[in-house]
Each structure stands twice: as C-alpha cells, then as structure tokens.
Copies of this chain bind each other. A is one copy, B any other.
Amino acid sequence: MAVTLAPMHSRDRRYHHGDLRAALLSRAEQTLREKGPAALSLRELARDLGVSHAAPSRHFKDKQALLDALALTGFERMADVLEASQESVEETFAARIDAVVRAYVGFAQENAVLLDLMYSVKHDPTASEDLVVAVGRWSEIVELLVEEGQRSGEVREGPMERVGLTVFAVLHGYADLAAAGMLPPEVTEHGLDEVIAFILRGSAPDRPS
C-alpha cells in the first residue's frame, strides 16, 4: 500500500527527505542503543524514514561507511564532553583528573554500545583521516593535563608514552568495565573515588625517603 509517498505526516518534506544523511545517523544510533549492533539494517533504517532501500547509498557508500560516520560523531561528542569537563575546574592535577575521569566514565556508561562501535572502528585499518583526528583530540586532553601536572610538580617526571599512557589506560579500563556492566552496582560511582586516588598515587612523584 505504500506506493504513495510521505502520506502520513502532513508537515513532511518533499518526496526526498531533506536531510536524509543526518536522519540516517540519528536513527541508526537509536536502533543501536535499543536493539544492539546486530539488529542494525540499512533497509530497515530506510523503511523507518520512509525512503526507498536504495536511498541511503546516496549518502553512505555502504553500511560500513555509515558505521564509520556514526563512530566519528561519537568521538567528537566524547571530545566535547572531555573538554567541557575541564572548564571552570580548579587548576590542579587532582581536580582536573577528577573531572576528566567522571566525564569519561559518564560518557561510557551513557553510550556503551556507541563506545564499542568507536573502538571497533578505530581497530579497523581503513579508518578515515577524520577519525584519527578526533581520537587525537581527546588523547591530547590527557596529555596536556599530565604535562601540566609535571610542570607543577604534582606528577612524576617521564615521557608521555609512559606516564600519560598509563593514566589513560586506567581511565579507559574503568570506563570500559563500567560500560560493560561489569561493576557491582553500588561500586559504580563509589569506585570512582578509588580510581582517582589510585591514579594520583600512581602518578605522584617519588617522595624523598
């Protein structure tokens, strides 16, 4: 019966969608969130949006291209969240780490499936240039933070690949466990304090003995 176009909603655009690309991304994320990555189908997406099954190919070369684009928006939003966490925060390493850990873990919990997608896409060798840029943006945040801590004497000396990377590993590991639902419920926010304290102890300078 669906031969007539866009009949249901009076305020619908012309026979082509208007901003199909954005609509596809948004709807895809919703499906991902609600039914998981295995349930994501281009044809169903098109059906939901009231366009033909071939329409998405005008905006995304193939399914993987849509997933890549979705992951990219995830990285960008993540970077935004991390950068925002550093605004109007006391300029000590402890305060900054506290803010960034809470922001990262919060994002991970609210966007667990998207985070999975982000990391699996990044794993892919054919990753786009934009994506590399977006990843760089938020690994830089941790780097800057650590370097600042080193200058102020709050963080032990050493190259970024050692100190910064390890701090990031803690951050990422805890967020990943939280997103995967592996943390006992009462630990989820309580545990954050311990993680932050752990990072501070682990990255503190040696005390003269």
Contacts and interface: CB of A to CB of B under 8 A. Distances in A.
Contacts of A161: 184, 186-187, 190-191
Interface of A: 38, 64, 112, 116, 119-120, 122-123, 158, 161-163, 165-166, 168-174, 176-177, 180-184, 186-187, 190-191, 194-195, 198-199, 201-204, 207
Nearest to A116: B120
A25 B186 CA distance: 37
Contacts of A158: 194
Pick from A120, A158, A169, A182 the residue with the most CB of B within 10 Å.
A169
Contacts of A190: 161
Contacts of A207: 207
A203 B170 CA distance: 13
